[in-house]
Structure 1
Amino acid sequence: MSISALGAGLSGMYANQQAMDVEAQNVANLNTPNFQAQKATFREVDPAGSGVTLSIEGRGLAAAEGGTDLAGSMTNSMMYKAGFELSAQIVKMADERIGTLIDIRA
């Protein structure tokens, strides 16, 4: 179980980092004419919940130049940061459990 938790945590960290990269790109191109903002969408890898994947989709051009909602991007970034930190805690706890199991068996 600890190995699968480690994999799920790493998967969550990677997905949240990619989502943060999408938001950073959207904000960096806020004033770029005809920039097509992207949206990160999380999906489970399998129904057992052993990890997540991320797909990145274009939202289409918005009426406003740049098509990026700065307040929404900041809110999303805070959520992705929290998700990354939670996933990092899962990795840390799984690593500690694996270390304990190795110590017990040694």
Structure 2
Amino acid sequence: MSGLQAYQQGLAVEGHNTANLATQDFVPQSASFNEARPAGTGVTLSTAARELSAAQDSGAAPSGTDPAASITNSLVYKLGFSLSAKVIQAADERLGTLIDIKA
């Protein structure tokens, strides 16, 4: 579940950055995925402002958001969300099989 939530929040960050693509002096955020403590119990997401030097890149928007990176990140987060959902579905199916065997 923590994977689903983290990827959903990552998509929200990229959506926010994309929505403010043309906003002058907007400081885009980046998502950083971290392993939850204790190890192996999930994933957490933290967001931080990106360096303003990104605004000086030739491909960056007036806000400093890099459209190509934002789109790429969105696709990665979408696929990660789908994968996390499939893991939960597989675990649910295995649990159902185990319950059927015990019954």
Q: TM-score if structure 2 supplies the norm length?
A: 0.86
Corresponding residue for residue 72 of structure 1: 69
Corresponding residue for residue 86 of structure 2: 89
Match for residue 95 of structure 2 among 82, 98, 101: 98
Match for residue 30 of structure 1 among 21, 27, 45: 21
Gaps of 5+ in 2: none
Q: CA deviation at 1:83?
A: 0.7
Alpha-carbon displacement from aligned partner over 1:14-47 (angstroms, at most 9, x marks no partner): 1011001100100000001111100000000036
Corresponding residue for residue 7 of structure 1: none
- SS state at 2:15 partner: helix
Corresponding residue for residue 5 of structure 1: none
Counting matched residue pairs gives 97
Quick one: distance in 2 between partners of 1:47 and 1:76?
27
Asked which structure has the greater RCO (Cα within 8 Å, sep 6+), the reply is 1
Q: TM-score if structure 1 supplies the norm length?
A: 0.84
Quick one: distance in 2 between partners of 1:36 and 1:105?
55
Quick one: distance in 1 between partners of 2:84 and 2:37?
17
Gaps of 5+ in 1: 1-9
Quick one: distance in 2 between partners of 1:53 and 1:105?
35
Q: Cα RMSD over matched residues?
A: 1.4
Quick one: distance in 2 between partners of 1:41 and 1:51?
14
Quick one: distance in 2 between partners of 1:48 and 1:19?
21
Alpha-carbon displacement from aligned partner over 1:63-106 (angstroms, at most 9, x marks no partner): 35211000010111111111111101100000101111221222
